[in-house]
Amino acid sequence: MKNGVPILQIHGLDAGIEGKTILKDFHMMVRAGEVHAIMGPNGSGKSTLAKVLAGDAHYEVTKGTVLYKGQNLLALPPEERALRGVFLAFQYPVEIAGVSNAAFLRMAYNSKRKHDGKSEVDPLEFEEFLLEKIKVVDMKEDFIRRSVNHGFSGGEKKRNEIMQMAVLDPLLAVLDETDSGLDIDALREVAAGINKLRRPDNAMILITHYQRLLDYVKPDVVHILSNGRIVKSGPASLALELEKKGYEWISH
């Protein structure tokens, strides 16, 4: 564990969807400079946590608090959370026909600049900036002119999430199964992208089902989630142990 300032503090969180409680008395603390991995079987509450942090209205919080930089995150609408530096890389990125990646990202980037009291950038300036950023995920230039995720392969969608993260430069990034559906080459490139964005002043939560992403992105802490609670936390080696013993190991 490092001694950065706390970025995220979750206390006694109960949350769920359609009346069903999924996260139960969930606790977590993430400091600047840390990468936390959350592992768990399907249905353990990994994605619920991601959606609750991003502010998806389908999910309800019934108990507990979430502090982001000491402030109540749950009171903020999704766009306000993003403007303050929270980013969710979606497990299933949404396809948006008719809106180009460049136009969409410029809008998002300018919203953030405006929020930070900076001047907005024009399309040409932004294109230059974007062409730098697509190098993070090693994509071709036409990537930025295509409609957002529309007709993208699974791997392209995940790279697009990481590119968006590079553009928006969040303080807290939550990556929801960014490794799922990737072949080994794509996984390596996406992981390289994540490592490039890792800094002492920001933090990441990697949500994953498998250990393999953690071969490339080394976490400071690994948490094992089961039935909506963290049942075990430990160093990076915990992921390897879990891989060996399987999820049955923690369910008893």
Partner 1 sequence: MSGFRIDSSLPQGIQLEETAEGATLTVPERGMFDLLIPIGVRAKNAKLRVVTGATSRVRLVLDYELEAGLEATFELGAGAFMDVFHLERQKRDKALSSINKYLLKKHASLNVWTFASGGPACIAHDVKFLEPHGFASVHGLSLLGESTNVVHRVTADHAVGHCASRQFYKSVLSGHARSAFESLVQVAKGADKTDSKQLNKNLLLSKDAVATSRPELSIHADDVACAHGSATGELRKEELFYLRSRGIAETDARLVLTEGFAMEALEDVPEIPLKAELVELLKLKIAELAA
Binding site for partner 1 (CB under 8 A): 54-58, 77-79, 81-83, 87-88, 90, 93-94, 96-99, 103-105, 107-108, 111-112, 115, 147, 164, 168
User: For the chain, what is the HEC assignment?
Assistant: CCCCCEEEEEEEEEEEECCEEEEEEEEEEEECCCEEEEECCCCCCHHHHHHHHHCCCCEEEEEEEEEECCEEHHHCCHHHHHHCCEEEECCCCCCCCCCEHHHHHHHHHHHHHHHCCCCCCCHHHHHHHHHHHHHHHCCCHHHHCCECCCCCCHHHHHHHHHHHHHHHCCCEEEEECCCCCCCHHHHHHHHHHHHHCCCCCCEEEEEECCCHHHHCCCCCEEEEEECCEEEEEECCHHHHHHHHHCCHHHHC
Identity of the residue, 97 or 124, whose beta carbon is nearer to partner 1 in the bound complex: 97
CB of 80 to partner 1, least distance (A): 8
Decide: 85 and 141 in contact? Cβ < 8 Å. Answer: no
Nearer to partner 1 (CB atom), residue 187 or residue 204:
204
Which of 9, 110 has the CB closer to partner 1? Answer: 110
Question: In this complex, which beta carbon is closest to partner 1, that of residue 151 or of residue 183?
Answer: 151
Name the minimum Å distance from CB 112 to partner 1.
5
- Nearest approach in angstroms of CB 115 to partner 1 is 7
Q: How far is the CB of 120 from partner 1 (least distance, A)?
A: 13
Give 104 or 216: the residue with its C-beta nearer to partner 1.
104
**Residue 31 vs 84, nearer CB to partner 1:** 84
Q: CB of 55: closest distance to partner 1 in angstroms?
A: 7
Pairing verdict, β 172-176 and 203-208: parallel
Report the nearest approach of partner 1 to the CB of residue 16 (Å): 18
